[in-house]
Amino acid sequence: MNTFAPPVQRLITELSKLPGIGSRTAQRLAFHVLRSTREDALALAEAIREVKERIGFCEVCFNLADEPRCRICTDQRRDPGIICVVEEPADVIPIERTHEYRGVYHVLGGALSPIDGVDPEDLRIEELYARVSAGGAQIREVVLATNPTTTGEATALHIAQGLRQRVAELNVTRLASGLPVGADLEYADEVTLGKALAGRHAL
C-alpha cells in the first residue's frame, strides 16, 4: 500500500529517474520541496521548464547554447585554429576550469560503442570532418579529449584515422597521462586535467 498522496508519489517517482538518485534520496528531495516556500518550489519548476525550452545546441560546435552559437564560439579571444573534441557538453566544463585551453570545441554527442548500437553516423563525426576541411590551413590542431575509456579510446582512434585521410598534415593530439583509465572527464580535478592537457601527445 502506498503511504504517500498521489502528487507526492509522482514527485518522488520523477526525482528517482535522475542519475545517482535512489528512492530514499528522491523521498528526501521531495520532502525538501514540500518544506520549501511556494516561491522557491515554483522557481525550481520554472528553471526546469526554461532550460528545456530555451537551451539547444550550438550550430558550430554542438555545445549547449541559448542562441544559434554558444558563447565560446562567439568569443573573439578564442583561438579557432585549435579544436578540442569531447564526448558530451558536460566535458567542456572541467576543461574550461583548468584555464590551460584557449581554443574552441566540438561536441560529438557520445562515443562509439557498436555493442550499444552507437555507430559513427550516430555521432557528430562527419560534422567535425567538414569543419576541419572548411577551415583549411587555419585549423592547426585537433585535440582528441574523449574519455580515457575503451569506447573513448576507440572513438579517438577512429577520428584520428579519418582526419589524417582528409588532411594529412593536420596535427592530431590526444590528452596525455594524468587521467586515470576508466574515469570520466566530468569527475577529473583541475590539476590532473590541466597536466593532461599540457602534456597531450600525437596519435
At 136-175, the pLDDT tens digits run 889 999 999 999 888 999 999 999 999 999 988 899 999 8
Residue 139 is predicted with a pLDDT of 94
Give the span between the Cα atoms of 84 and 92, in whole angstroms. 9
CA pair distance 39, 119, nearest whole angstrom: 45
CB atoms within 10 A of CB 35: 9
Which CATH code, of 3.40.50.2300, 3.30.1280.10, 3.40.50.620, 3.40.1360.10, is assigned to 74-202?
A: 3.40.1360.10
CATH architecture of 6-54: Orthogonal Bundle (1.10)
pLDDT, averaged in runs of 10, over the chain (203 residues): 83 94 94 95 96 95 96 96 96 94 96 89 95 90 92 94 91 80 79 79 76
Length, in residues, of the chain: 203
Q: Could you count the other beta carbons within 10 Å of the beta carbon of residue 4?
A: 14
Query: What pLDDT sits at residue 152?
Result: 92
User: In this structure, what C-alpha cell is assigned to residue 23?
Assistant: 528512492
d(CA 126, CA 128): 5
Q: What is the pLDDT of residues 100-111, one digit of tens each?
A: 999 999 999 999
pTM more than 0.85:
no
Domain ranges of the chain: 6-54, 74-202
pLDDT at residue 177, rounded to an integer: 61
pLDDT of residue 189: 81
Look at residue 190 in the predicted model and tell me its pLDDT.
Answer: 83
CB 143 within 8 A of CB 94: no
For residue 2, the model assigns a pLDDT of: 64
Residue 108 pLDDT: 97
pLDDT, residue 69, reads: 95
